[in-house]
Amino acid sequence: MSTKKKVRVATTSLAGCFGCHMSFLDIDEAIVGLIEHVEFSRSPINDIKHCDPDCDIGLIEGGLCNAENVHVLKEFRESCKIIIAVGACAINGGVPAMRNHYTLKECLEEAYLDGIGVENPMIPNDVELPLLLSKVHPIHEVVHVDYYLPGCPPPAEAFLKVLTDLLEGKEPSLPKEILHYD
Amino acid sequence: MSEANNNTIIIDGKEIPFTEGQTIMDAALAADIYIPHLCHRPGLKPHGSCKLCTVEVNGRSASACTLPAASGQEVSNNTEALTEVRKTITQMLFVEGNHFCPSCEKTGDCTLQAVAYHLDMLDGHFPQFYPKREVDASHESIVLDRDRCIMCELCVRASREVDGKDVFAITGRGVDAKLIVNSASGKLADTDITTDDLAAHICPVGAILIKEHGYETPIGRRTFDLHTIAEPGLEPVILRKGKHADEH
Amino acid sequence: MHSNNGPDNNAGSPAQQGGDNHLLHRLYELQQQFQHIPKQAISDLATELNLPISQVESVVDFYSFFHRTARGRYDILFSNCTSCGDMAMMHKLCERLSVTPGETRADGVVSIAETSCIGMCDQGPALLVNGRTLTHLTNRRLEQIAEQVDAGTPVADWPVEWFRVHDNVRKNGLLLSTGFEAGSGLLSAIHQGPEELLEEIVKSGLRGRGGAGFSTGMKWKFCRAATGDAHYVICNADEGEPGTFKDRILLNSHAHEVFEGMTLCGYIIGAQKGYLYLRGEYRYLLPELQAVLKRRHKAKLLGENILGQQGFNFDIEIIMGAGAYICGEESALIESMEQKRGIPRVLPPFPVTKGFLDQPTVVNNVETLAAAAQIAVHGSDWFKGHGSDKSAGSKILSISGDCTTPGAYEYAFGVSIQRILDDCGAEDVQAVQVGGPSGTLIAPDEFERKLGFEDLATGGSFMIYGKDSDLLAVVQNFAHFFAHESCGFCTPCRVGTTLLRNGLDKIVRGHGTQYDVDEMFRMATLVKRRSHCGLGQTAPNPILDALKRFPGIFESRLVNSEFEPHFDLDAALEEARQISHRDDAEAHLV
Ligand SMILES: Cc1cc2nc3c(=O)[nH]c(=O)nc-3n(C[C@H](O)[C@H](O)[C@H](O)COP(=O)(O)O)c2cc1C
Ligand code: SF4
Ligand code: SF4
Ligand code: SF4
Ligand code: FES
């Protein structure tokens, strides 16, 4: 094992579906090579709850749909030198942002009161629940984002390419073959 | 570089011929030179609204799709600076509407998306406008999803110039501009549009779609899985695939 | 085809242009009658005028003075111009009459909103009530207006002195001091013949007063040479550039000169028809203008065989705009005359070869045409004797803002900015916006610069900002103006003017960072270089000028952080707070 300090990576899913994380794990055996240079801080992969204060790279999946998302995003921005917006939802709100067509009230009423198949109609309300933002937003509207990794999800190769570039101290770039928004 | 003779222009150092009445875009396409464009389709009257085809002609900014070619023109097209400008304009088009590619039937066959790939656009960059625009699903076989409309007016022109109808128009002003349908109810069902019309297939984005044909082509076989937008002669392919999704 | 409204869009027959049946005029009638344009009326009108429904609809939606939902029976529009606007007054009247700005009161009686500059910059604050111009607003007058509304007094019965508009000519120059006898220009024209008169106009060095400064003689020459079924003359009286009101004065007190200039132009280019396109904000001028036209008919200065000249036929009609700055751009103006949205055409072809109804057309500013009439009488040398080398003659300025005597001032070209400021009693000046928002914002170290096409060009607007005025608020006001007036045709301007407006709003709210300023600069440069028409190409000027000359007004508002959110996080939770009735610490974001 190399004695060189490993690059610390944190990851999170905000208003996302974990699809990006799944795709990331799809790098399969390449993860072995990666792990030689990388260690994971806060991430759903290891269930660490907070970022080390000196993370190198933060991978953010998902946009912002509630107050908690904003808190987590800010923690990442404060802890990570580089923030990468991963996937369609982090980049432009994605599918969750399709609720922006409606008011919050309309969404909640449809989901918890009037929708088909609703039992016990009641809009959940508890101080433990994070409040919803009136609209879903992409993360670059709230913090500075250093790089973008589009796709729904981005292909495993794209993760590998961007991380490898960064590990090698290069500007990350995506070859056209793996650049897609879907 | 050789002197430009009477009927040639120079695009990025390359001398290409033109005939009287051609625009810079016409001449470029005829010479298999790609100038990014969205509101232009050969055969329809030039429009000049999207500004993707912005070039510099003897140092001055111009729209290649509307500026008549004239000898002595030195045109910059494929430069880093112009790519940056075009990328920014494309980002402006993305944030102005609601483009959620993963859930769009046009994905993989969408010209806007393909142009964005071509320009290496990774993100929308600007804050999203998230406009609220209406969907018109009244027609039995054509759906109009205004969220994705980029106001290119290809459908407007196709309907008037080729189909001999007048189904579409743009209304409003500024960012409130939007596509409308020419009928008393404002609904597509009350127009004479049919799936045989060019207007039903020409939309470069997923704003006008044929019902019940979404996601027909598997990933890997869609237009821009197989081609890049900059490929010469792609226009007929895009249009043909717009009509028959399974053809390639 | 150059029309961006589509080739088959129906321009209507020439007979339908002007007169009561012009779409804009019919829609005005409907708006007056119903306070909005009812849906049914749109299809009825489309059928009657033989226009596509979508065309009628798109015109309704394009022009600010037409509405889909009902405005109040008293529809009050406050100018939001930095010179003739007063938003505080608007809010005050809103409060007094329980109206939400922009909306119609639930009982349908009154609506109050803002509108772009209404050209009363020398006698503001000003507003339009049911389209009538009301000037010299004071708090007392606001209260009186509220009382009239409360009492239900028809606007026609409000005291006439409230509606008085003064010329406020403060300094006469070449044009304003030279008397003009109706018909004298035409007599001279007939005497000289069209060729010779055209040469005089060319020789005079007269350049367009509407902004672009194209040689008037050359324009007429090109149009005369162009072939077509008919030729047209259009007088551009859209005067929409904030801070400009000199055409208002010419139309009010020198209409003969203007109409005679049009007639002369028709004589030279071979047109038999002229149109005056008058901005909707100047509707109060319409009755008198029509009366002047009638008088000219009677005097054989219009109509058939003018002044007894066989075959010298010329008629003038007035077309009223309906609230759209872009319709001052000549090709958009022509589209508007053709009963369409005011979308600028692709140039070339220029109007001189393919203009109104695709026929050769001259479009000239009011002042240009008035000057041409004088040149016909007094000759080119008389005109050239004034002004500078590249800028012959004089310019009427509309001076407003922080000075003791706002009004119209006419100067020979070449006069220095400082001289002008001295004349109108402007002291401690921080900046002058020369040529309106689309022009140039200059700082005191440039006050020795000269007025003229070779240095500081202006269509007439001259807005003065004293040392106490908030320049950033001014730039913000202009950014809002352009975002509101962008026609929406091309991407850079449609989206860019909104991004610029939002960027400025963020800075003004105290949430801007250096990053936002850099972004704004980048966007401003793109919009300026890549937009389709003059509106987009000049819309970023106030921002770019201010960044260059007054960087401090931005810097002092910036927060010292690398990045600030683009929206108000805590406000974004308000809807959820209301639904959940929560107000605990977790229900807020800082
Ligand atoms: C956005 C815009 C608004 C304009 N508004 C006016 C106007 O209100 N009055 C005017 O005379 N010219 C206006 N112009 C200039 C006209 O396009 C045109 O150049 C002018 O009317 C020609 O007349 P001139 O040669 O006598 O100046 C405007 C141009 C632009 C781009
Ligand atoms: S229209 Fe094109 S760019 Fe827009 S969402 Fe659909 S695929 Fe994406
Ligand atoms: S619907 Fe499609 S073709 Fe028509 S204007 Fe919109 S984007 Fe263009
Ligand atoms: S620059 Fe602005 S006003 Fe001019 S065509 Fe473009 S959108 Fe319309
Ligand atoms: S392709 Fe030329 S402006 Fe759209």
Residues C86-111: tens digit of each pLDDT: 999 999 999 999 999 999 999 999 99
> Between chains, do C572 and A105 touch, taking CB under 8 Å as contact?
no
**What CATH number should be reported for the domain holding residue A86?**
3.40.50.700
**Contact status of B132 with chain A (Cβ, < 8 Å):** yes
Residue A10's pLDDT is: 95
Please give the CATH topology (third level) of the domain spanning B102-247: Alpha-Beta Plaits (3.30.70)
Select from B23, B29, B34, B47 the residue to mutate for testing ligand 5; criterion: most ligand atoms less than 8 Å from CB. Answer: B47
- Give the mean model confidence (pLDDT) for residues C246-264: 98
Residue A168's pLDDT is: 92
Cα distance between residue A30 and residue A17, in whole Å: 23
* CB contacts < 8 A (B, C): 129
A38 to A8, A22, A72, A168: CA distances (angstroms)? 6, 18, 22, 12
Q: pTM for the complete prediction?
A: 0.96
CATH code that applies to domain B3-78: 3.10.20.740
Asked whether the predicted pLDDT for residue C7 surpasses 60, the reply is no
Asked whether the predicted pLDDT for residue C65 surpasses 50, the reply is yes
Q: Counting beta carbons within 10 angstroms of the beta carbon of residue C548, is it exposed (0 to 12), middle (13 to 18) or buried (19 or more)? A: exposed
Burial code (b: 16+ CB inside 10 Å, e: under 16) for B120-150 equals ebbbbbbbbbbbebeebebbeebbbbbbbbb
Asked whether the predicted pLDDT for residue C540 surpasses 60, the reply is yes
Q: Looking at this protein, which amino acid is placed at residue C217?
A: G
**Contact status of A64 with chain B (Cβ, < 8 Å):** no
Q: Which of B93, B177, B182 sits opposite C488 (nearest CB)?
A: B177
Residue C2's pLDDT is: 42
ipTM reported for the complex, 2 dp: 0.96
* CB contacts < 8 A (A, C): 55
Q: Which residues contact B218 (CB under 8 A, 6 or more apart)?
A: none
**Number of helices (H), then strands (E), in chain B:** 6, 10
CA nearest to A103 within chain C = C575
C135 touches C124 (CB < 8 A): yes
- Predicted confidence (pLDDT) per residue in C286-340, tens digit: 999 999 999 999 999 999 999 999 999 999 999 999 999 999 999 999 999 999 9
Ligand nearest to the CA of C258: 1
Cα distance between residue B91 and residue A138, in whole Å: 14
* Domains of chain C by start residue, with CATH: 74-166 (3.40.30.10), 170-384 (3.40.50.11540), 394-466 (3.10.20.600), 470-590 (1.20.1440.230)
Asked whether the predicted pLDDT for residue C240 surpasses 80, the reply is yes
Asked whether the predicted pLDDT for residue C14 surpasses 70, the reply is no
Minimum-distance ligand 4 atom for the alpha carbon of C344: 5
Q: Which of A94, A152, A179 sits opposite B117 (nearest CB)?
A: A179
Q: Phi first, then psi: give them for residue C113, nearest 5 degrees.
A: -150, 180
Q: Which of C566, C567, C575 sits opposite A103 (nearest CB)?
A: C575
Residue B237's pLDDT is: 86
CA of B156 to the centre of ligand 3 (A): 8
Q: How far is A140 from chain C (nearest CA, A)?
A: 8
- Hey, do B3-78 and B102-247 end up sharing a CATH topology, with the first three levels equal? no
Kindly state the helix (H) or strand (E) to which residue C474 belongs, with its residue range.
Answer: helix C471-485
Residue A57 in any domain: the answer is yes
> Between chains, do C495 and B183 touch, taking CB under 8 Å as contact?
no
Q: Is the alpha carbon torsion for B124, B125, B127, B129 positive or negative? A: negative
Determine which residue's CA is closest to atom 7 belonging to ligand 3. Answer: B149
Q: Which residues does chain B have with pLDDT short of 50?
A: 1-4, 246-248
- Predicted confidence (pLDDT) per residue in C118-135, tens digit: 999 999 999 999 999 999
- CB < 8 Å from C in window 166-205 of B: 166, 168-177, 180-184, 186
CA nearest to B59 within chain C = C529
- Predicted confidence (pLDDT) per residue in C360-392, tens digit: 999 999 999 999 999 999 999 999 999 998 999
For chain C, what percent of residues have pLDDT higher than 90? Answer: 96
Residue A85 CA from chain centroid, whole number: 7
- Which tokens hold the place of C578? 């209301």
Ligand nearest to the CA of B50: 5
- The finding on whether C541 has its CB within 6 A of some atom of ligand 1 is no
B56 to C2, C452, C502: CA distances (angstroms)? 21, 29, 29
Determine which residue's CA is closest to atom 1 belonging to ligand 5. Answer: B37
> Between chains, do A131 and C587 touch, taking CB under 8 Å as contact?
yes
Residue B214's pLDDT is: 87
**Contact status of B107 with chain A (Cβ, < 8 Å):** yes
**Contact status of C575 with chain A (Cβ, < 8 Å):** yes
Residue A125 in any domain: the answer is no
State the CB neighbour count (10 A cutoff) for residue C68: 12
- The finding on whether B63 has its CB within 6 A of some atom of ligand 5 is yes
Each domain of chain B, given as residue ranges in start order, spans 3-78, 102-247
**Contact status of A144 with chain B (Cβ, < 8 Å):** no
Chain A residues whose beta carbon lies within 8 Å of the beta carbon of residue C573: 67, 131-134
> Between chains, do B130 and A97 touch, taking CB under 8 Å as contact?
yes
Cα distance between residue C7 and residue C16, in whole Å: 18
C428 touches C456 (CB < 8 A): no
Q: Which residues contact C466 (CB under 8 A, 6 or more apart)?
A: C401, C402, C426, C427, C428, C429, C430
Residue A28's pLDDT is: 85
C554 touches C471 (CB < 8 A): no
| Weakest-pLDDT range from A89-103, A116-130, B163-177 | A116-130
Number of domains composing chain A:
1
Asked whether the predicted pLDDT for residue A3 surpasses 60, the reply is no
Domain residues for A66? 7-97+134-178
Q: Mean pLDDT of all residues in chain C?
A: 96
**Contact status of C577 with chain A (Cβ, < 8 Å):** yes
For chain C, what percent of residues have pLDDT higher than 70? Answer: 97
Helix (H, G, I), strand (E, B) or coil at C584: coil
CA of C494 to the centre of ligand 5 (A): 14
Ligand nearest to the CA of B94: 2
- Give the mean model confidence (pLDDT) for residues C42-49: 97
